[in-house]
C-alpha cells in the first residue's frame, strides 16, 4: 500500500490496535475463532471484558473477523 493510501473500514483501526495493545491484529483475530458462533455484540463484549479492548477497536476486529468468515 502506498503512503498516501488510507485503510478504510475496520482495517483503519489496525495500526492503532497494534500500537496501543502491543500485539498484532492476527493475535486478536485468533482470540475470536473460539467464539465465532456468538453474536457480533457478544464477541465485542468478549474482547472488552476479557481483554480490555475499547469498544470501537473491538467492534472493528469483530467486523473484520466476521467478514473473513463470510468470504
- Under DSSP, the state recorded for 37 is T
**pTM listed for this prediction:** 0.87
Please state, in angstroms and rounded to a whole number, the distance separating the CA atoms of residues 58 and 53: 6
CA distance 22 to 15: 10
Instruction: Tell me the mean pLDDT per 10 residues along the chain, length 71.
Output: 62 95 97 97 97 96 94 79
Amino acid 2: pLDDT: 43
Provide the residue ranges of all domains of the chain, joining segments of one domain with +. Answer: 29-71
Amino acid at each position: 500500500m502506498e503512503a498516501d493510501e488510507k485503510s478504510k473500514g475496520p482495517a483503519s483501526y489496525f495500526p492503532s490496535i497494534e500500537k496501543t495493545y502491543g500485539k498484532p491484529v492476527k493475535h486478536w483475530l485468533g482470540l475470536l475463532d473460539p467464539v465465532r458462533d456468538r453474536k457480533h455484540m457478544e464477541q465485542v463484549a468478549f474482547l472488552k471484558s476479557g481483554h480490555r479492548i475499547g469498544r470501537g477497536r473491538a467492534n472493528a476486529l469483530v467486523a473484520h473477523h466476521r467478514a473473513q468468515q463470510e468470504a
